[in-house]
Amino acid sequence: MSRIGNQPIPVPKGVKLDINGTHVKVTGPKGTLERVIRPEVALEEKDGAYIVVCKDNSKRTSAFSGLTRTLVNNMVVGVEQSFQKKLNIDGVGYRAEVKGKILTLNVGYSNPVDFSLPDGVSAEVDKTNTITLDCIDKESLGQTAAKIRAIRPPEPYKGKGIRYSDEHIVRKVGKTSSK
């Protein structure tokens, strides 16, 4: 079994985990998440925590045990305390604003780009052009952040564009005059 799959999933107070066959439902103070897990693995309760149990000893099932443990743990953490992702907008005249579920980006195109936020994802923009996305579903949050970044990915010469706050852009030198 994988090392990650062997670890128990701690369930804090206020979070309820319901298992019905392969259907897992996690309810907490921030909301409810549901997922269907692989039939090769099962979740069992032991000492107030849940463990992932493999139904056979194949390498494939071992990989699914680690994946299942991580997905269910992310659900538990998400309904207790939501996930956040920050995006920075770099460039002269580049800015963003949020109105309801629409994120409007002015990032160097002739017209502003309107990005409609999916259900469950909220956004805030501060004065330093930092977009903070907040969601209880880590998978949906990452996908939304990737779609926003793809509108204007950072370029390597001046670093203009939309990038993750922890992302490092490797800069290129550009043209130089040869004498």
Q: Write the CATH number for 75.
A: 3.90.930.12
Give the end of a domain, one of 25, 45, 80. 80
Cα separation of 76 and 126, whole Å? 29
Helix and strand counts by DSSP (H, E) for the chain? 3, 13
Is residue 5 within 8 A of residue 52, CB to CB? The reply is yes
Confidence of residue 178 (pLDDT cuts 50, 70, 90): low
CB 34 within 8 A of CB 17: no
In which residue are the tokens 């949020």 written? 98
Q: Which domain holds residue 49?
A: 3-80
Average pLDDT over residues 88-95: 93
pTM comes to 0.88
In a domain, 75, yes or no: yes
Q: Are 71 and 99 in a shared domain?
A: no
Same domain, 55 and 99: no
Instruction: Read off the pLDDT of residues 59-72 as tens digits, 9 standing for 90 and up.
Output: 899 889 999 999 99
Q: What is the number of structural domains in the chain?
A: 2
Antiparallel, parallel or unpaired: β 102-106 and 113-116: antiparallel
105 and 155, same domain (yes or no): yes
Give the model confidence (pLDDT) of 105-161 as tens digits.
999 999 999 999 999 999 999 998 999 999 999 999 999 999 999 999 999 998 899
Residue 121, helix vs strand vs coil:
coil
